[in-house]
Chain A
């Protein structure tokens, strides 16, 4: 098959790179959501630990 003209090939090349970037972004977004949950839980636990410290005093 002969090489596609640049204007047509460009769409496919852009598509491939966009798919790759989107895949990585989706992964990072999912990981960011998990890290936010960890941070939220950590804040709750820090609050519990502080309240315990206050009652011990």
Chain B
């Protein structure tokens, strides 16, 4: 079932509004961190959604290589693109939290931070790698191989960090000491749902814009002066294409 953009947008707004209300009026203050812990409800969902988005980009890339359908390449590209943007949010909100909590914007000997930065920088190379290739078919194919390889690296990287011993970064999820109370969990779950919905909405929004752009290019070609009139109509659904520039 495909949920349309309007429904997704409304669901995102409702969920994010609910999460903000829960964060500031329902979730209790953390005994250790105090009010600063409210950043957790933004920073962690952003990180989880961004990392999941990278994996989703890899899954779309697998489908692209399997079927050859450029629509899956576009989905892979847009998933990665939005996840990189969310990744910027993770780094910035994380730095703000670190400054408030540790007194430093960044700590280099913390595996969680450095590993996320490595993943982020890896995906930052996706754009120059992709647009260095001019041929659209090759560009899409090579970008898919990149997306699959990097997408496989994300969960491996996550596991490696979880196994690391020297951690200053808080471990709230799935820890032996029990983690958060129920009210915090509920707030966190609503926050992560809102963030996931926002990501999905923006992915759909960008794909719709790319599809419109692709349709427009077809129409422009069909209406080129001197071109013989074609009786075949422009298809109602054109696969959005990425080649030719970072749109």
CB pair A1–B103 under 8 Å, yes or no, is: yes
A interface residues (Cβ-Cβ under 8 A, vs B): 1, 3-6, 8-10, 12-13, 15-17, 19-20, 23-24, 27, 31, 34-35, 38, 41-42, 45, 48-49, 52
CA distance A19 to B97 in the complex (A): 12
Q: Is residue B5 contacting chain A, with contact meaning CB distance below 8 A?
A: no
Interchain nearest-CB distance for B91 vs A (Å): 10
B interface residues (Cβ-Cβ under 8 A, vs A): 30, 32-36, 38-39, 42-43, 46, 85, 88-89, 92-93, 96-97, 99-103, 198, 202, 205-206, 209, 212-213, 216, 219-220, 223, 247
User: Hey, which chain A residues are within 8 Å of B100, CB to CB?
Assistant: 4, 8-9, 12
Interface residue from A13, A15, A27, A31 paired with B35 (Cβ < 8 Å): A13
CB pair A9–B34 under 8 Å, yes or no, is: yes
Interchain nearest-CB distance for A51 vs B (Å): 10
CB pair A16–B209 under 8 Å, yes or no, is: no
Interchain nearest-CB distance for B29 vs A (Å): 8
CA distance A48 to B227 in the complex (A): 13
CB pair B96–A45 under 8 Å, yes or no, is: no
User: Hey, which chain A residues are within 8 Å of B89, CB to CB?
Assistant: 19-20, 23
Known contacts A19-B93, A20-B93, A48-B223; is-contact A13 B36 (Cβ 8 Å): yes
CB pair A12–B96 under 8 Å, yes or no, is: yes
CB pair A38–B209 under 8 Å, yes or no, is: yes
* 20 examples of A-B residue contacts, CB within 8 angstroms: A1-B101, A3-B33, A3-B34, A12-B99, A13-B36, A13-B38, A16-B39, A16-B42, A16-B97, A17-B42, A19-B96, A23-B88, A24-B198, A31-B206, A34-B213, A34-B247, A35-B209, A38-B209, A38-B212, A48-B223
